[in-house]
Amino acid sequence: MSNVSSNKKLPEGKYLDLSAGMKIHYHDFVKEGHDLGSGHPVLFLQGSGGGASGWSNFQFNVPAFVEAGYRALVIDLPGYGYSGKPTDALYTLDYFIGYVNEFLEKIGVSKLTLLGNSLGGAIAIGFALKYPKKVSNLILMSPGGIENKADYFTMPAMSIMKEVFVGGANSRDSFAQFIKKALVFDASIVTDELIDQRWEVFQLQNDQVIKTMDVPNMADRLGEINVPALVLWGIDDKLMPETGVMKLAKGLKDYEMLVIPKCGHWFMIEHTRLFNRTCLNFLNDRIALNDRIAK
């Protein structure tokens, strides 16, 4: 893996200048001794929310992918992490997809696997619909974009958000309580280091991304996706309606699915080894199959 070093709690990687003054922060990892052109590229797409960033979401997963020979690209989406946060932008799904596509074109990646959770999952679905020839596989973990916006506001996490932030919206303790109560099943896995990482980057955010975020319901278009997909879902997710599981099961054409108990919204953090093993088995099998067909 390439080096990341910083005196900040959240490691700092590289920056890329894109259109309209957008600066994207990202990490680009390959196995030691390999060049950046080797290894099937996997783009990790984070979820939304306070303090979210590519690294804080996927820091426990990236090393396993790199060791397995994959090129791991981890970006901070616009409005998050160390990436640009314009206060006059409308953070629509197309806005995110546009910058993801521009980023990939600038670094010379023409086909890849998209791995996204929550908002990142919605971006992965939307990207696959808009640029089908650029996507070889999808890995979707409790993805957004398959329900109407009003349905998300009926979920327990929204009540928890009101409960813990009343009178303490800028408190690190309230911030930590929301993560422990709303995003995971087992609060003991949420370490002080993880809280500190997200709290630090939360201080860099403005509220424009939350106020203007607009992700359409793409459930009716899932059948247009022709690439293999892996779906992972925690049955104790308090943020995403469980109806999403059946929408994905009935809508996608070619998929594998793993739904597990005692798991909240952060499958990749709560069940790291299972997540890594399942994703890598899926990718190894699908890429090997594609190689055999190509021959």
Q: What's the pLDDT tens digit per position in 56-76?
A: 999 999 999 999 999 999 999
Q: For residue 183, give both structure tokens.
A: 């995003």
265 as an active site residue: the answer is yes
At 231-252, the pLDDT tens digits run 999 999 999 999 999 999 999 9
Contact 113, 41 (CB under 8 A): yes
> How many percent of the chain have pLDDT more than 90?
83
> Percent of the chain scored above 70 by pLDDT?
94
DSSP letters, 10-45, are S---EEEE-GGG-EEEEEEE--TT--TTSS-EEEEE
> Is residue 38 very low, low, confident or very high in pLDDT (cuts 50, 70, 90)?
confident
pLDDT band at residue 290 using 50, 70 and 90 as cut-offs: confident
pLDDT at 4 over 50: no
| Residues 54/83, Cβ–Cβ less than 8 Å | no
pLDDT at 7: 45
pLDDT value, residue 2: 42
pLDDT bin (cut points 50, 70, 90) of residue 291 is low
pLDDT of residue 15: 98
Active-site residue identified among 27, 40, 265, 271: 265
104-108, 264-268, 285-289: segment of lowest average pLDDT: 285-289
Task: Compute the distance between CA of residue 233 and CA of residue 117 in angstroms, rounded to an integer.
Answer: 10
Distance, CA of 76 to CA of 79 (rounded, Å): 8
Q: Three-state DSSP class for 171?
A: coil
